A = this chain, B = another copy of it.
Amino acid sequence: MSTEPVSPSLEPTPKRERRKEARPRELLDAALALFVEKGFTATRSEEVAARAGVSKGTLFLYFQSKEDLFKAVIRENIGSLFPAWNEELNTFEGSSADMVKYAMNAWWERVGNTAASGIAKLVMSEAQNFPDVAAFYQADVVVPGTKLLHRILQRGVDSGEFRAMDTDKAVYTLIAPMIFLMMWKHSMGACAASANIIDPQKFIHMQVDMLLNGMLARSAS
């Protein structure tokens, strides 16, 4: 397991020799699927190659090592959606409640319901074995995501639509259900039949409803 320095996390975008195009997407996809399914260590390189339809040797033509493949899987699957999302929020017209709903649903469609959701499961499962990967994920996904959600909450509070709250902490009430959904989907949800949770979209809908309106009955004063 790697104990490399955390700082220049994952060679930030390799300058030249961008053979990205040539580098089989199939290998990364196969690796993602298998790493998510079985874990990094329990997945054999040959399985990845086989699923990608190439031979064992070919894998190592594109990736220096299995660990290198692991990092590439993370890197390549985190295309940042945040710039676009931030843009959308800038131009969003509507209530902050709608904004929360919109953000959560958009997240489900573009991440949660995507192979990218496996990345979260993978990173969390392997975080301790790959601290630099965890740091990378934290910096490139968690922090921007947190900021985005924070903006939304703050907007609501500022406009008076939301009540006063510690937005720094409240933001995790939005993150928790997303993390939960991704973990569940790729673990219990894929095993125990009875764990086949409610429809994710309905779950999100209810979660948002509860967070916005609360469970308590309104006293019809």
Binding site for B on A (CB under 8 A): 1, 37-42, 97, 100, 121, 123-129, 131, 134-135, 137-139, 142-143, 153, 156, 160-163, 165-166, 168-170, 172-173, 175-177, 179-181, 183-184, 186-188, 190-192, 194-195, 197-198, 202-203, 206-207, 210-218, 221
Contact = CB atoms under 8 A, between A and B. Distances in A.
Nearest to A189: B127
A125 B123 CA distance: 10
24 contacts: A41-B42, A123-B188, A124-B184, A128-B187, A128-B190, A134-B192, A134-B195, A138-B191, A142-B188, A162-B215, A162-B217, A163-B217, A169-B203, A170-B215, A172-B203, A172-B207, A173-B177, A173-B211, A176-B176, A179-B179, A179-B183, A210-B211, A210-B214, A213-B214
Contact of A142 (B161, B172, B195, B221): B195
Given A128-B186, A163-B218, A177-B180, 9 more contacts: A97-B215, A125-B125, A137-B188, A137-B192, A163-B215, A172-B197, A175-B180, A212-B214, A221-B221
Copies in the complex: 4
A20 B180 CA distance: 34
A156 B124 contact: no
B169 A198 contact: yes
